[in-house]
Structure 1
Amino acid sequence: MQASTRNRIAATFSAAAMLVGCAVTLGAGSAVAAPSAEFSAHPMQSDGSRSIYVKRNGKVVGAGKWIANGDILRAEDQESDGYYITAVLSTGRDVNTKGKPAPSKADDAGNLPEDKTYTMFVCIGNDSTGLHCSGNYSVRS
């Protein structure tokens, strides 16, 4: 095969690969937006615990909780609406109710150093819509 023929074949394959890449990239923008939600956090308790509630249409549909006595991170889902709740701690620990029928809860416990401050946030969403997350809130072990 001559060099010019090889170059044309290589150019054709490159162009095809670029078109496939563009089609995949453009198709990725068609996902539905994350669910709208409001978040409200209770004040941190004297032991460092805190709850962050997730509301949709004015109704509490879930929560993320830090339970200082036991160093427990909890996600709670109260509605069968197709969304799951995720709670995330700044240590990298996270827990969610994905795949569990509502009402449900999921815990992740593990000992942390005492009297340290961390942050946590909570999210609502699913694999189709993505996640909508609260801001960060302080908690203490």
Structure 2
Amino acid sequence: MTGEVSFDEKVRLEHFRSGIDAVREVGILALKTIITLNSGAFVVLLTFIGNAAAQSKFMVPLDKLQCSMYAFLCGIALSFIAIAYTYFVSQSLSPYPLPEKRTDGWFVPIVILITGLAVAAFLVGVITVIHNVMVVENVVVME
């Protein structure tokens, strides 16, 4: 044999590549969504802080707003950590037959865990704000 790859091996490699492409697309969509949710929520809170004192009958204690903002920032940071981890692991992967490493089975669970923590950070931020919104009775709305 002169290094030529059999038809079955070519089919297996193409199947492997298409599986990686599908997982990559779903993962990219999930991370983009999480980054958009967390950064959008962060911007909404900044807008709320800027307008709340003068134009709103609703109030959220400052410490709760800070907790929510930290949760959203943590979600953004975790998303970027998942992206960086995925990049570094993808550089070490190969579709060609290699001896199996002890760390091969841990890639997907680690990325799912980090992404799940980013979603949890978003939920913590949202729940913190929702549970601490108060209506202030005697507010003069400035126009």
TM-score when scaled to structure 2?
Answer: 0.28
TM-score (norm 1): 0.29
Report which of the two has the higher share of strand.
1
Higher normalized helix content (fraction of residues): 2
